[in-house]
Amino acid sequence: MTPELVAQHQLSPDEYRKIVGILGREPSYTELGIFSVMWSEHCSYKSSRLHLKKLPTSGKLVVQGPGENAGIIDIGGGYVIAFKIESHNHPSFIEPFQGAATGVGGILRDIFTMGARPIAVMDSLRFGRLDDPVTGARNRRILSGVVAGIAHYGNCFGVPTVGGECLFEPCYDGNPLINVFALGVCRKEDVFYARAAGAGNPVIYVGARTGRDGIHGASMASAEFTEESKQKRPNVQVGDPLMEKLLLEACLEAMQTGAIVGIQDMGAAGLTCSTCEMGSRGGVGIEIELDRVPQRETGMTPYETMLSESQERMLLVAEKGREEEVFRVFRKWGLEAVEIGVVTTDGRLRVKQHGVTVAEIPAHELADEAPLYDRPHTEPLRRAPMSVERASVLGDVQEALPALLASPDSCSKRWIWEQYDYQVRTNTIAGPERTDAAIIRIKETGDAVAMSLDGNGRYCYLSPREGAQLAVAECCRNLSTVGAEPVAATNCLNFGNPERPEIMAQLVEAIEGMAEACRFFDTPITGGNVSLYNETLGEGIYPTPVMGIVGLLKTAAPVTIPFKSPGRAVVLLGGIGGCDETRFGGTGYAKEILKQLWGLPPALDLEREKRVQSAIREIVAAGLAESAHDLSDGGLAVALAECSFGSAGIGAAIDVDSDLRPEMLAFHEAPSRILISTAHAGKVAAIAEKHGIEAPVVGVTIEKGMEIRQRSMTLGSWEIATLRAVYHGALESYVR
Amino acid sequence: MRFGVIVFPGSNCDHDAFYAVGTNLGQPVEYIWHDSSTLGAVDAVILPGGFAYGDYLRCGAIAKFSPVMRAVRQFASGGGLVLGVCNGFQILVEAGLLPGALIRNRGLKFICREVRLAVETADSPFTSAARKGQTLRMPIAHGEGCYFADERTLDELEAEDRIAFRYDGNPNGSLRDIAGVLSRERNVMGMMPHPERATKPLMGSSDGLTVFQSMMGAAVRV
């Protein structure tokens, strides 16, 4: 084994010495490959594990926390939900359509491998600038390809894509982020785990055949991009959503036979990861014979077979003697199911070809004893100044609002979500852009689940700690605004190269901020994903932790964003809020109108945030809100406009009593604020007072038009139709 | 009225159709597996939406060879009610039970949105509970829903009053705004919009009930 070969496998000399120590000898080429994928950053979390331990992971509803294929939460009535978010950033940059499609496929398998039927998907996407003269064309192509790939896979599989978020920054030019969240439901007693057990039990391979695609995909996802990255296109897999759909139905049906002991999908690191992880979790060994693995290419070496990341494959352990019950189900669905090995007692992953052992590694050491690094971290990287020259902050509210509504970040994402089937399975109570959080009913229990994704790279760049907390708060606020109680979270941590101390510092601070906020809101993290090395040619992305939080509520007609009728009081729950110039530098206004970034993200008071959320949940539960929408990107003015874009065409005239400069009043992004319209202003005020928050009546809904005044002075007045046209037409005009 | 919902590999609105007629309309309903050679004792058959066999070839081009399609053909020729929704419509067209073809949406993209449909005829077992000219709201969700046929066929469909629904605001480029058509004997209907997704106010609309209620009424008359 030459040092060059070891280095090619992205293993350090120390890591190699550790491998030799575990084996008591030099590894074979196949074994080196196996270690290299299992100990890659993607599979082993070697740079982040130490800090991930700081996250809260338990709670009264948590059935399964991190460590399995997905987290599980008890939703009552004998049912649980399984959910998780995962990234597919690197593959999607190299091949947008298939990269995104297989990203959806991977997370769906994580859900149904737990025994849960996927009932909702959401996506958090980041792309480079669409209008950049140099990179714009490529960014538009990546956006179109990613959206088409998600649509292709999710629509065909038959899971609704019910929401998400999509933002644009120059830092994602060479490194888009594709984070996919999926959620499934099953009966509590039907949950399956990825654990092998029972010596002598057969190990069964089901689904698609193994090919040479995706070899070293996990390692690819653990390195920065260079000019040569395009040559890695063969590392990206090709998705087959029909196969996945059949695999779903067959697996759920096979699980019902009671003959399955444990099951895991073959995702990153394929056959290697599924065998050693199932063995390690169960404290047993697994022996497989590669000759029996269904292959779609001839002459594959053990190295290739073990490292292939061909999609739509599952590995399961059945009870000995009941194999035929399992095979019968897979035959019915027209799928290949083959016994490729057996569970052993020796705790080893033993791989044979033609009866000869080609790899033999202790499963536990391989799966769970990967190197763990306490990487040095200093001050988080930030090149933005703390303050900005006063002159450049002046702006005109009248002109700025349509400009902001037309910006890629703030405009309607309808062009994207109309390409997704957001209704299949007929559980979607509130899909994209109808409410702040998507709502899916659980037909089996009569209750509903709300879900929200949020992340703001700009905020996190200015302060990773505060930015991560703001994302948690925003998700919880979105859920509360539809009346749901936030209960659990999943996270996707997208960062640059952790070997750079200033990037590692971003990761550490974001995790710590997130941990504090999740503890505060009692939303334990039940699983997630870390995606590091999001850098191209040495340029890192903004630190972009994306939160996915789920909440529970009763099934009912949702309180949606748009105003419904004229003459209603417009209440700003939480009040106009404070903002100084430092806290204005991360806003959409600063980005789009001033073209600058400075200062710190909006200030978050967790206590106050919680009180606002309790209040809105009580207001919604009491049926007092006719519409509800939280203030986020673009602040008060953008939120007010979005509330005015309903089919009824109702707008609002508001007059705000505040000392803030006009553009700050209109566009600052302080959290903990929710705009509602109500016919019961008195009762709303009483609830707000009970929770100790401000809730000024700032105006009234009107038949048409929208107007913002400050102490009777008009800051802006608009035709709704004009704003709506800008808001709905913007994204399509960029993409064309 | 006993409904049968056909399940092809890749059908994904089968559960939704089952739920709509079973739970929301309280009718007995069963799944019929694609390799079944008989339909059993059902009064009406639904070919649900989805991506039968992945639709990697032309939509419905493989599904039409399923064993169950022979039984569906027989059932239809005996006057049985056959409703194809979305992918089901595409399969019925491929199988020759309905005229025309469904090609890619004019915008070349999948579209999921609520549309308004005009009921073009109440003279069918699928629309008898509606008024001619009535507007129904229900969703579409398809990438290949642009209805296409030659001029002569289109004229014939109009002359024989076989256009069941037209779009009010054509989303996909369908010729003459056609959203749903009837067979010559009027007992087979295909439509791209999803009536099963509009069978409860919580779903956003219950206008889809009209289609199923019409079918139930037709069975009573028989």
Residue A210 CA, chain-centre distance (Å), reads: 28
With bands split at pLDDT 50, 70 and 90, how would you rate the model's confidence at A213? confident
| A156 → closest Cβ in B54, B197, B202 | B54
Helix (H) or strand (E) holding A468: helix A464-481
| Cα–Cα distance for residue pair B188/B167, rounded to 1 Å | 20
Q: A441 — contact with chain B (CB < 8 Å)? A: yes
Contact B112 A443 (CB under 8 A): no
A675 within 8 A of A573, measured Cβ to Cβ: yes
pLDDT value, residue A389: 73
With bands split at pLDDT 50, 70 and 90, how would you rate the model's confidence at A217? low
Q: What is the pLDDT of residues A27-86, one digit of tens each?
A: 999 999 999 999 999 899 999 999 999 999 999 999 999 999 999 999 999 999 999 999
Joined together, the tokens standing for residue B181 give 């058509």
A279 within 8 A of A341, measured Cβ to Cβ: no
| Cα–Cα distance for residue pair A245/A157, rounded to 1 Å | 5
With bands split at pLDDT 50, 70 and 90, how would you rate the model's confidence at A215? confident
Lowest mean pLDDT across A88-92, A327-331, A393-397 = A393-397
Contact B55 A241 (CB under 8 A): no
Residues A623-649 as b or e (16 or more Cβ within 10 Å = b): ebbbbbbbbbbbbbbbbbbbbbbbeeb
The alpha carbon of residue B189 is apart from the nearest alpha carbon of chain A, in Å, by 21
Residues A143-174 as b or e (16 or more Cβ within 10 Å = b): bbbbbbbbbbbbbbbbbbbbbbbbbbbebbbb
Contact A423 B54 (CB under 8 A): no
pLDDT at A551 over 70: yes
Q: Is A42 a catalytic residue?
A: yes
Tell me the residue type at B40: G
Best mutation target, B12, B23, B55, to test chain A (most A CBs within 10 A): B12
Q: A413 — contact with chain B (CB < 8 Å)? A: no
Find the residue in B nearest to A239 (Cα).
B54
The alpha carbon of residue B35 is apart from the nearest alpha carbon of chain A, in Å, by 10
Joined together, the tokens standing for residue A611 give 């009180």
| Cα–Cα distance for residue pair A449/A463, rounded to 1 Å | 31
In chain A, residues with a C-beta closer than 8 Å to the C-beta of B201 are 557
pLDDT value, residue A218: 63
- DSSP letter at A27 equals P
- CA angle (A253 as vertex; A251, A259 as ends), nearest 5: 85
Q: What is the pLDDT of residues A645-680, one digit of tens each?
A: 999 999 999 999 999 999 999 999 999 999 999 999
| Cα–Cα distance for residue pair A115/A101, rounded to 1 Å | 22
Average pLDDT over residues A552-562: 96
The alpha carbon of residue A312 is apart from the nearest alpha carbon of chain B, in Å, by 14
| B113 → closest Cβ in A158, A246, A418 | A418
Joined together, the tokens standing for residue A191 give 């949950």
Average pLDDT over residues A628-632: 98
| Cα–Cα distance for residue pair A126/A540, rounded to 1 Å | 14
Contact A242 B53 (CB under 8 A): yes
pLDDT value, residue A391: 53
Q: How many residues does chain A have?
A: 736
List all residues 6 or more positions away from A7 whose beta carbon is below 8 Å from its beta carbon.
Answer: none
In this prediction the pTM is: 0.96
Strand residues in A478-611 grouped as ranges (E) = 485-494, 525-531, 535-536, 539-540, 544-554, 569-573
Q: What is the pLDDT of residues A71-116, one digit of tens each?
A: 999 999 999 999 999 999 999 999 999 999 999 999 999 999 999 9
pLDDT value, residue A229: 59
With bands split at pLDDT 50, 70 and 90, how would you rate the model's confidence at A393? low
- CA angle (B206 as vertex; A429, B145 as ends), nearest 5: 85
Q: A542 — contact with chain B (CB < 8 Å)? A: no
| Cα–Cα distance for residue pair A647/A222, rounded to 1 Å | 47
Find the residue in A nearest to B199 (Cα).
A426
Contact B112 A426 (CB under 8 A): no
Interface of B with A (CB under 8 A): 9-10, 12-13, 15-16, 19-20, 49-51, 53-56, 109-113, 139, 141, 143, 194, 196-197, 199, 201-203
In chain B, residues with a C-beta closer than 8 Å to the C-beta of A420 are 110, 112
pLDDT at A583 over 80: yes
Q: What rounded mean pLDDT belongs to chain B?
A: 96
List all residues 6 or more positions away from A607 whose beta carbon is below 8 Å from its beta carbon.
Answer: none
How would you classify the pairing of strands A697-702 and A651-656? antiparallel
Query: CA dihedral in degrees (B167, B169, B174, B176; nearest 10)?
Result: 70
φ, ψ dihedrals at A481, nearest 5°? -65, -25
- DSSP letter at A428 equals E
Max Cα separation, chain A? 86
Q: Which string of DSSP letters, residue by residue, matches A114-159?
A: TTPEEEEEEEEEEE--TT-TTTHHHHHHHHHHHHHHHHHHHHHHT-
| A423 → closest Cβ in B51, B139, B143 | B139
The alpha carbon of residue B163 is apart from the nearest alpha carbon of chain A, in Å, by 26
What residues does A262 pair with on adjacent strands? Answer: A317
A305 within 8 A of A239, measured Cβ to Cβ: no
Residue in B159, B177, B158 with CA at minimum distance from that of residue B117 = B177
In chain A, residues with a C-beta closer than 8 Å to the C-beta of B61 are none
A337 within 8 A of A330, measured Cβ to Cβ: yes
Contact B202 A422 (CB under 8 A): no
| B202 → closest Cβ in A240, A241, A429 | A429
| Cα–Cα distance for residue pair B56/A245, rounded to 1 Å | 14
pLDDT value, residue A105: 96
Q: What is the pLDDT of residues A130-181, one digit of tens each?
A: 999 999 999 999 999 999 999 999 999 999 999 999 999 999 998 999 999 9
Residue in A647, A636, A518 with CA at minimum distance from that of residue A577 = A636
Catalytic-labelled residue, pool A42, A629, A668, A680: A42
Helix (H) or strand (E) holding A253: helix A241-255
The upper half-sphere exposure of residue A424, i.e. CA atoms within 13 Å in the direction of its Cβ, equals: 32
Contact B197 A426 (CB under 8 A): yes
With bands split at pLDDT 50, 70 and 90, how would you rate the model's confidence at A120? very high
pLDDT at A372 over 90: yes
pLDDT value, residue A577: 92
In chain B, residues with a C-beta closer than 8 Å to the C-beta of A243 are 54
In chain B, residues with a C-beta closer than 8 Å to the C-beta of A419 are 109-112
Best mutation target, A161, A244, A335, A423, to test chain B (most B CBs within 10 A): A423
| Cα–Cα distance for residue pair B204/B222, rounded to 1 Å | 33
Residues A577-601 as b or e (16 or more Cβ within 10 Å = b): bebebbbbbbbbbbbbbbebbbbbb
In chain A, residues with a C-beta closer than 8 Å to the C-beta of B51 are 155-156, 241-242, 245
Q: What is the pLDDT of residues A411-446, one digit of tens each?
A: 999 999 999 999 999 999 999 999 999 999 999 999
Q: How many CB pairs under 8 A join A and B?
A: 76
| A423 → closest Cβ in B109, B111, B141 | B141
In chain B, residues with a C-beta closer than 8 Å to the C-beta of A418 are 109-113
pLDDT value, residue A26: 96
A20 within 8 A of A26, measured Cβ to Cβ: yes
Q: A429 — contact with chain B (CB < 8 Å)? A: yes
Contact B51 A241 (CB under 8 A): yes
Please classify residue B215 by burial: count the beta carbons closer than 10 Å to its beta carbon, then call 0-12 exposed, 13-18 middle and 19+ buried.
buried
Contact B141 A421 (CB under 8 A): yes
pLDDT value, residue B218: 87
Q: A244 — contact with chain B (CB < 8 Å)? A: no
pLDDT at B221 over 60: no
Q: What rounded mean pLDDT belongs to chain A?
A: 95
In chain B, residues with a C-beta closer than 8 Å to the C-beta of A156 are 10, 12, 51, 54-55
| Cα–Cα distance for residue pair B65/B18, rounded to 1 Å | 23
| Cα–Cα distance for residue pair B120/A73, rounded to 1 Å | 49
pLDDT value, residue A729: 96
Average pLDDT over residues B149-170: 98
Active-site residue list of B: 86, 194, 196
Q: A333 — contact with chain B (CB < 8 Å)? A: yes
How would you classify the pairing of strands B135-142 and B111-119? antiparallel
pLDDT at B222 over 60: no
Average pLDDT over residues B53-78: 95
In chain B, residues with a C-beta closer than 8 Å to the C-beta of A246 are 9-10
pLDDT value, residue A231: 60
The alpha carbon of residue B160 is apart from the nearest alpha carbon of chain A, in Å, by 34
pLDDT value, residue A111: 98
Average pLDDT over residues A227-249: 80
pLDDT value, residue B220: 58
With bands split at pLDDT 50, 70 and 90, how would you rate the model's confidence at A123? very high
| Cα–Cα distance for residue pair B130/A539, rounded to 1 Å | 62
Lowest mean pLDDT across A203-217, A361-375, A414-428, A522-536 = A203-217
pLDDT at A285 over 80: yes
